[in-house]
Amino acid sequence: MSFMLAPYETPGGGLARAIREQAEKLKAECDEAKLGPDFDANAFAHKARVRAKKIRAALRLAKPLIGAKSYRAGNRWWRDAARELSGLRDATARLEALEALRPFLTARIGSAMMRRLTERFEAQRSRTGVRAPVSAFKSHVWSAGDELAPDLPSGSREDMVAAMGETYREARRAMKAAMKKNDPLLLHEWRKQTKYHALQARLLRTMFPELLMDRLVAARRLSDVLGEVHDIEVVLEGARDWEEAPEGFLDVLEERRLALIGEAHAAGEKLFREKPKAWVELLAAKGAKETAEVQVEQT
């Protein structure tokens, strides 16, 4: 089933099912991952980290149902699992970022310099081991046995409103911090929190369709723009001491980065313009309206 709650599911039932599906798929992918010559460790790492992020987004929504202590334990477990692959993923992300920027950079530094920069990043990736991080991740996942998904009580719309409100607050706070200072770590945190907000909107879009359908699209777009900013930052980091860099290379990238940050600021101000309390009240009101409409249809 798609990564969303079905109209007939309770919040707890739908979240437990979504977590279980992602965990079972991940466990199957770990079982199938054979560290041979044909194994694509980079694709495995990317998919595994995406599944872990989906599970953590669902766990955030489940926090009112399982309590803060259980949530922290589950979130920490999945965070630690994903971190086993972070080194492998970072080395690949630099090449992927360069590929995303290829049309922009080729027009400014030429094909020959792009080829040299690509070779530089490929050499950096070749120095990153594959076997150790993949094996560590698989062992982490297998260590949980069949306890990868929690049992959840039914829950209510009110529980989901509270949980989404908390994530909205975190994303808005991260945005405010990033807007004060265009620091890469702060921008990365804003992107991360926006992704969680988008994933939760995706999970609950059938429960609050009037408000979350358009919000899901807008949050994904903002995340994509912040992703482009991150692409530039990882390329900048990898090329910081590049002795062959053509004159003005770093300046061109920084100019593009600042333009994208301006675009993200405009999108973020629109997406997170309401204060958290006001947005929670709006979500609750939409939920109450949709519940009343369903009750009328059933009578």
- The string of pLDDT tens digits covering residues 190-247 is 999 999 999 999 999 999 998 999 999 999 999 999 999 998 998 888 888 888 888 8
The answer on pLDDT for 263 being more than 90 is: yes
**183-213 in b/e burial notation, b at 16+ Cβ within 10 A?**
ebebbbbbbbbbbbbbbbbbbbbbbbeebbe
- Interhelix angle 157-180/41-66, rounded to 10 degrees, is 120
pLDDT grade for 268, boundaries at 50, 70 and 90: very high
How far is residue 229 CA from its own chain's centroid? 15
Token pair 């999945």 in the structure block, residue: 78
pLDDT of residue 121: 85
Query: Helices (H) and strands (E) in the chain — how many of each?
Result: 11, 0
DSSP 8-class letter at 246: P
How far, in Å, are 32, 57, 82 from residue 127 at the CA level? Answer: 25, 33, 20
pLDDT of residue 43: 86
CA distance 227 to 160: 27
- Tell me the DSSP string of 77-95: HHHHHHHTTHHHHHHHHHH
pLDDT tens per residue across span 120-134:
888 877 776 677 888
Mean pLDDT, rounded, of the chain: 89
Q: Please, where in the chain does CATH 1.20.120 lie?
A: 156-299
More confident residue, 36 or 140: 140
Q: Which amino acid is at 82?
A: A
Instruction: Report the CATH number of the 156-299 domain.
Output: 1.20.120
pLDDT of residue 291: 56
Task: Quote the Cα angle for 107-113-114, to 5°.
Answer: 65
pLDDT of residue 299: 47
CA distance 18 to 3: 6
Lowest mean pLDDT among 157-161, 182-186, 221-225, 245-249: 245-249
DSSP 8-class letter at 146: T
pLDDT of residue 60: 97
